[in-house]
Structure 1
Amino acid sequence: MSKIASYGEINLPLRVGIVGTGFAAKIRAQSFIAESRTQLVAVAGRNPERTAEFARSSNIATVADWQALVQMPEIDLILVATINGDHGQIVRAAIAAGKHTIVEYPLALDFREATEIVALAAAKKVLLHVEHIELLGGLHQTMREWLDRVGEVHYARYSTIVCQRPVPDKWTFQRTEFGFPLIAALSRLHRFTDLFGSIESVNCHNQYWGGVGDYYKTCLCTAQLRFKNTSAIGEVVYGKGEGLWQNSRKFEVHGANGALIFDGDEGVFIQDGTSTSLDLGARKGLFAKDLELVLDHLIDGKPNYVTTAASLATLRVAEAARISAETRRTVLVDTV
């Protein structure tokens, strides 16, 4: 079966190769297997034993490395769900080979590299989708639904603190492989750009503690944001490791007429001394929803729920935050 869409002729089912064997890759594999429009074919990973087990559990083939996987003629679409530091080179190679490509954010750790990859995808006329499932979740959808009720927004703050003791010996605590915290955790900034529009300037502070060399045991990154089209002040906090002692996930918006407070999986709207509880819905099934919407876009030409341009614009803000943290000065996003 085939259809004509904006990317040309699409033959179904789309044959899929996965790069990566971690949590996101496993959930993605289940989504591809359950989706009638895709056929999971092969996987490539960094650890041969984990890759072999992944392949057995999914009843697919193993490939020696991602370089070979992206060149396989029997694969139409590549999913990149491996360490952040490898995203850019893998996605670039997949697109150069003419493969439609889905990548977990960030597209690349370097903003300029990401810009080049987006241009390459347009030139090759293949799909490039950067996953941003935070936009599909109940918290974000509820925030969108209720945001007008707070009136003119004065202050918005998003904080995620993860206590990890002992710190795992994993790539997520390696500066080079994980990347600058707000680039690696791009969804924290993307909530702000999606809800409040373009960010004009950022002032960021970042600190690592413990560890040796590239490896650290605690990081804490904070950034203050000013927007182009609103006087609101935004603040994002991201921290993890053994030097932080209590888990916290809180998103709050204060405005002229009320406030929205989301603490963990609970939300309330506060106005005139009264609180209204909000139903945030389930957090499960977001990867499957992401895949469904991406396939609708690729095959039927429907609008995607997030564009590469939007993800790239947020990555530019994250790059400005990195520069700000390194130079200890406020950075105008348009200058990056």
Structure 2
Amino acid sequence: MTETNTTTTELIKAGIVGTGYAASQRADTLQKDWRSHLVAISSHTLTRAQAFAQTYETSFIDSWQQLIEHPDIDVVFICTINCDHGVIARAALETGKHVVTEYPLSLNPSEAESLIALAQAKGKLLHVEHIELLGGLHQALLQFLPKIGKPFYARYVTMVPKKPAPKRWTYHPELFGFPFKAALPHVHRFTNLFGQVASVSCQSQFWSNCEYYKACLCNGQMRFQNGLIEGFPLTISHFCN
């Protein structure tokens, strides 16, 4: 027998802050599941909000502050610039909403810890999306790592070439955050595999152009308590004008 939705009271009513790729993936998933309903979205840019709302046949709200106050919304999906994650999550939790946010939870570790405590005190869901741990690559590592013996060195490289470097928020230090914070899920792959980190060292260089950087090069190294050394180079953008 096919299960169908019979009453609107069963619906999880959601609001989305943001209109980018992550927001579109959330909207697609919400609309495909009969247990959920996308009530409204908000964005920094009105024209993007209007276009997004039209695509997904939902309403748009002028600001995220108004969205989290919406009485018909149960859960807020945060899919906007990194620097706003913490403040939106706190406001939503204090309003009594459940929260699902893209990584990072906050650019400030102390604020992230306080948000976890707030969610526990309020009895609300606070989920930070780390989809890499669910992917085929990581699952294969988990499966075959015990078969290769004890590793002593691991390396992870991320390169994102763009020419010319776009003036997007991901190239703005204050909006995006330090690259290794923004790349937290990649780091999380190794902590999930190898456990506690004993020490961390890092060097970075940025090629700036007013508020935005044209390129950055970050090299980090983590030493794990089990003796493993992990090199973690991260390159974003390009090295020419």
Query: Structure 2-normalised TM-score?
Result: 0.94
Q: 2:63: which partner in 1? A: 65
Give the match's secondary structure for 1:222.
Answer: strand
Query: CA separation in 2, counterparts of 1:87 and 1:143?
Result: 30
Query: CA separation in 2, counterparts of 1:12 and 1:243?
Result: 53
How far residue 12 of structure 1 moved from its aligned partner, in angstroms, is 2.2
Q: 1:99: which partner in 2? A: 97
Q: Which runs of 5+ in 2 are unaligned?
A: 1-8
2:97 aligned partner, one-letter code: K
Q: 1:321: which partner in 2? A: none
Deviations for 1:87-132, whole angstroms, at most 9, x for unmatched residues? 0000010111111110000000000111111110000000000000
Q: State yes or no: 1:233 paired with 2:218.
A: no
Q: 1:216: which partner in 2? A: 213
Deviations for 1:210-242, whole angstroms, at most 9, x for unmatched residues? 311x310101111111112x1111111111112
Query: Structure 1-normalised TM-score?
Result: 0.68
Q: 1:119: which partner in 2? A: 117
How far residue 73 of structure 1 moved from its aligned partner, in angstroms, is 1.0
How far residue 150 of structure 1 moved from its aligned partner, in angstroms, is 1.4
Query: CA separation in 1, counterparts of 2:73 and 2:103?
Result: 22
Following superposition, which runs of at least 4 residues in structure 1 exceed 3 angstroms of deviation? Answer: none
Query: CA separation in 2, counterparts of 1:205 and 1:190?
Result: 19
Query: CA separation in 1, counterparts of 2:10 and 2:63?
Result: 26
Q: 2:3: which partner in 1? A: none
Give the match's secondary structure for 1:36.
Answer: coil
How far residue 64 of structure 1 moved from its aligned partner, in angstroms, is 1.0
Q: 1:172: which partner in 2? A: 170
Give the match's secondary structure for 2:209.
Answer: coil
Query: CA separation in 1, counterparts of 2:35 and 2:93?
Result: 21
8 Å CA contact retained: 1:220, 1:240: yes
8 Å CA contact retained: 1:163, 1:243: no
Q: 1:128: which partner in 2? A: 126
The count of aligned residue pairs is 232
Give the match's secondary structure for 2:27.
Answer: helix
8 Å CA contact retained: 1:188, 1:236: no
Listed as ranges, the matches of 1:10-21 within 5 Å are: 12-21=10-19
Q: 1:22: which partner in 2? A: 20
1:137 to 125, 135, 153: 135
Query: CA separation in 1, counterparts of 2:233 and 2:33?
Result: 36
Give the match's secondary structure for 1:32.
Answer: helix
Query: CA separation in 1, counterparts of 2:150 and 2:91?
Result: 45
Query: CA separation in 2, counterparts of 1:12 and 1:91?
Result: 24
How far residue 185 of structure 1 moved from its aligned partner, in angstroms, is 1.2
2:238 to 239, 242, 246: 242
Query: CA separation in 1, counterparts of 2:235 and 2:11?
Result: 41
Query: CA separation in 2, counterparts of 1:243 and 1:98?
Result: 46
Across the aligned residues of Structure 1 and Structure 2, the Cα RMSD in angstroms comes to: 1.0
Give the match's secondary structure for 2:213.
Answer: coil
Query: CA separation in 1, counterparts of 2:166 and 2:150?
Result: 43
1:48 to 41, 46, 49: 46
Deviations for 1:154-201, whole angstroms, at most 9, x for unmatched residues? 101111111110111110000000000010111121011111001111
Listed as ranges, the matches of 1:1-336 within 5 Å are: 12-212=10-210, 214-228=211-225, 230-243=226-239
1:100 aligned partner, one-letter code: H
8 Å CA contact retained: 1:15, 1:75: yes
Query: CA separation in 1, counterparts of 2:94 and 2:10?
Result: 22
Q: Which runs of 5+ in 1 are unaligned?
A: 1-10, 245-336
Aligned sequence identity (%): 45
Q: Which has the higher contact order (CA 8 A, sep 6+)?
A: 1
Query: CA separation in 2, counterparts of 1:200 and 1:93?
Result: 34
Give the match's secondary structure for 2:152.
Answer: strand
